[in-house]
Amino acid sequence: MENMNIDPEDLEDLIIRIEQSFQIHFEDNELADIRTLGELCDSIKDKIKLEKGSGCTSQQAFYKVRDAISKITGINENTITPSSDLNFIFPTKSRRQTLIQIENYMGIKTSILRPPHFITSILLLIFIGSCISLTFNGNMGLLGILISILGFYISFRTGKVLDISTVGEYSKRFMQDNYVMVRRDQKTYNEDEIDPFLIDFFASHLLIQKDKLNRETILFD
């Protein structure tokens, strides 16, 4: 039986994202007895108060994203496919502004931009070095920590590197972050999608192969 062995804090962060996506809320310690992915799926289904419906949410998300891209960029939507290259659709110079316009048009947000890895690596080294230097030069250590934190903040606010490559991945990210919002009928959900949604969600965020996850998968020891 596969064990994801998720760090409790990481699991808590993922649960918060799931709550936001499905517009539900778990009380403190409500999931304390949950041990398997199947038990978590069932708990989420029990929390959802929407009507049961049909329709493929991932397909609906793609259509919404395709429409938004076409409206904002002027690209013929018939030429936009799940495999379309985001680097071509969103040129670096105007990328951040265009993505903001798309999010405003759709009324939902997701994050697909980041700073270059070499920037975050340098800032991480500064942060670690500053923490070490606290033991022999407190002021310099604190200054270095503040500089690195400010650097992280600015770099992630201004970064233009795409974290994903295709329109299909973009629409998938929108669906994972905003399941209810991308539904054509936002008063409904497709119960049959919940298990595969969560398997895909955990696989994507924890970099685990999907075929190794199922309802019997243990979340942590």
Same domain, 192 and 85: no
Same domain, 134 and 198: no
Q: What is the pLDDT of residues 176-185, one digit of tens each?
A: 999 999 999 9
Q: Is the predicted pLDDT of residue 33 greater than 80, yes or no?
A: yes
The 3 state secondary structure assigned to 71-134 is: HHHCCCHHHCCCCCEHHHHCCHHHHHHHHHHHHHHHCCCCCCEECCHHHHHHHHHHHHHHHHHC
Which range of residues forms the domain containing residue 33? 8-52+187-212
Same domain, 97 and 169: yes
Q: What is the pLDDT of residues 179-208, one digit of tens each?
A: 999 999 999 999 999 999 999 998 888 888
Same domain, 35 and 134: no
**Which residue is listed with tokens 């590197």?**
161
Within a domain: 220: no
Same domain, 121 and 207: no
Same domain, 76 and 139: no
d(CA 216, CA 20): 25
Within a domain: 33: yes
Same domain, 96 and 13: no
Same domain, 66 and 88: yes
Mean pLDDT value of segment 122-141:
92
Question: pTM to 2 decimals?
Answer: 0.84
Domain count, the chain: 3
